[in-house]
Amino acid sequence: MEKLKNIEFIRVFLITAIVFLHMFINRVCNLCHIYPDISIYQTIKSAIAHSNNSVEGFFIVAGFFLVYTFKSHLSLKNFILKKYIRLSPAILFSMGLCAIGWLLGAMHIKLIPNLLTVFLLNHFGINIAVGQNPILWYTSTLFAGLLLYFCIIKYLPVKIKYWTIAILAISGYIILEILQHGSFANPLVNYHHVFNIGFLRTVGGIGLGCLIGYLYKNVLSKYNQPLKNMWLKWFFTLLEVGFMAFVVWWCMCIHKSINNIVIVLCFGILLILFLFKKGYLSQITDSDIWVKLGRYQYSIYVVHYVIIRILGLKVWKHCPNFVAVHPILPIIINLIVILLVGILTYHMVELPCAKFLTNKLIRKEN
C-alpha cells in the first residue's frame, strides 16, 4: 500500500501540538504551574489552550486509514489481535515508566486501572478507570471506535454501510453539541452513565475519516494527474495554505473559544486537499522525512506524559534558580528526553513486540 507521506506530515504536527498541550496544561507537574511568575510559560499555556482538539485530527486520520488499508478477508479476531499487538506493548512499557515515577514519588500507584489500560478497557465506550497515565483514555476509545467501524464496514451491506457511518458520525457530534455546546473538553466525563465525551469524539472523528476514506478510494484516487493549469494549481495551493494555517492557529495560537465542530470540518477539508494533492503545499510535504518521523508518533504519545510528570516534579521543581535564569532550557530538555524515550520505545518495544507477537498470534488469511 502506497505511503501517504504528506498525511504523515499532518500527524507529526498533531503530536507536536499534543505534547506542548501536556507540557503546559495546568497540572501540578508542569512548568506553568510550578513557576506561575515566568511569563513565557503563561504565554505558551494560553497559546496552546485549544491543542486538545489535535486529537480530533488523529481520530479522523485513523478512520481514513481504516478504510484505506481495509482488507475484506481480515477476520474480526485477527483485527482485534492486530490492534492489541499495535497498541498494548508500548502502553505496558509506559506503565513501567509509571512504576519508576511511583518509586521516585512523582506518581501514585493504580494497579487495577493500569491493567485495564494495558488491555484497552479503561475507556471502552465509557470511562471505567483512570490509570497513572490518564491521557491513555485515547488509546482505549480509539480501539473501541475502530472495532465498531470495522464491524460496520465488514458486515453491513454496501447499500446501508455509508448511511450507517454517516449517521453515527453526525450523531456523535450532535450529542456533543447538545451536551457541551460543541466543546470537546472533559473526555473522561460520562453523562447519564451512557454518553462519554471521549467516545463521542471518537465516533464522530473516525466516522468522518471513514467517509473521507471512501471518497478517496472511489473518487479522488482517480484524479492523480498533475494540474497543467497554473492558476488552478495556485488556487488549490491557497486553499491548502489557508486551511493548514487555520488548523495551526486553532491549536497553537491564542484565540477565543469557538465551537469545536468548526475545527473538525476544517481538518476534514485539509485532509481531503492533501489527499487530492493538487497544490504546492501538499506536494512539498510529500517527503520521506515525515514517514520516518511519523513512525515515532504513537510511542511519543504513550510516554510523553510520564516523562513530563517525572521531570516536572523531581527535577524542575527543585531547580528554581536554574529555571528562572534559563526558562527555555527546561522546555528544550523536556522535548529532547520525550523524543529520545519515544524513539527508544519504538525500536526496543513497539517494533520487536509487533514482529514477535504477529508471528506467534496472527494466522495468515487468504
Domain span at 155: 5-361
The C-alpha cell that represents 67 in the structure block: 478504510
Residue 229's pLDDT is 83
Which pLDDT band holds residue 226 (cuts at 50, 70, 90)? confident
Q: Residue 360: its pLDDT value, please?
A: 86
Number of neighbouring beta carbons within 10 Å of residue 3: 12
Please give the full DSSP string across 67-126, using - where no structure is assigned: HHT--TT--HHHHHHHHHHHHHHHHHHHHHHHHHHHHTTSS---HHHHHHHHTT-TTSSS
Decide: 244 and 270 in contact? Cβ < 8 Å: yes
Closest among 38, 14, 2, 68 to 250, alpha carbons compared? 14
Q: What is the mean pLDDT of residues 38-49?
A: 94
* pLDDT score recorded for residue 222: 73
Domain count, the chain: 1
The pLDDT of residue 160 is 94
- CA–CA separation, 131 and 126 (whole Å): 14
pLDDT in tens, 3-38: 789 999 999 999 999 999 999 998 899 999 999 999
Q: Is residue 194 part of a domain?
A: yes
Residues 6+ apart with CB under 8 A from 285: 5, 6, 9, 274
Q: Considering only 10-14, 174-178, 215-219, 240-244, which range has the smallest mean pLDDT?
A: 215-219
User: Which residue type is seen at 341?
Assistant: V
> So what's the pLDDT on residue 1?
60
Percent of the chain with pLDDT over 70: 98
Q: Residue 128 domain-assigned?
A: yes
Indicate whether 132 belongs to any domain. Answer: yes
pLDDT score for 128: 94
Interior angle at CA 47, CA 46 and CA 48, nearest 5: 95
Amino acid present at 263? I
CB 119, CB 149: distance < 8 Å: no
Residue 233 lies in a domain: yes
pLDDT at 365: 57
For the segment 69-91, the average pLDDT, to the nearest whole number, is: 95
187-212 per-position pLDDT tens digit: 999 998 899 999 999 999 999 999 99
User: What integer pLDDT is reported at residue 133 of this predicted model?
Assistant: 94
**pLDDT at residue 114, as a whole number:** 95
For residue 366, being part of any structural domain is answered with: no
Please tell me the distance from the alpha carbon of residue 58 to that of residue 8, in angstroms, as a whole number. Answer: 11
Rounded average pLDDT over 104-118: 93
What would the pLDDT profile of 266-286 be if each residue is shown by its tens digit? 999 999 999 999 999 999 999
Tell me the mean pLDDT in the region 303-332: 96
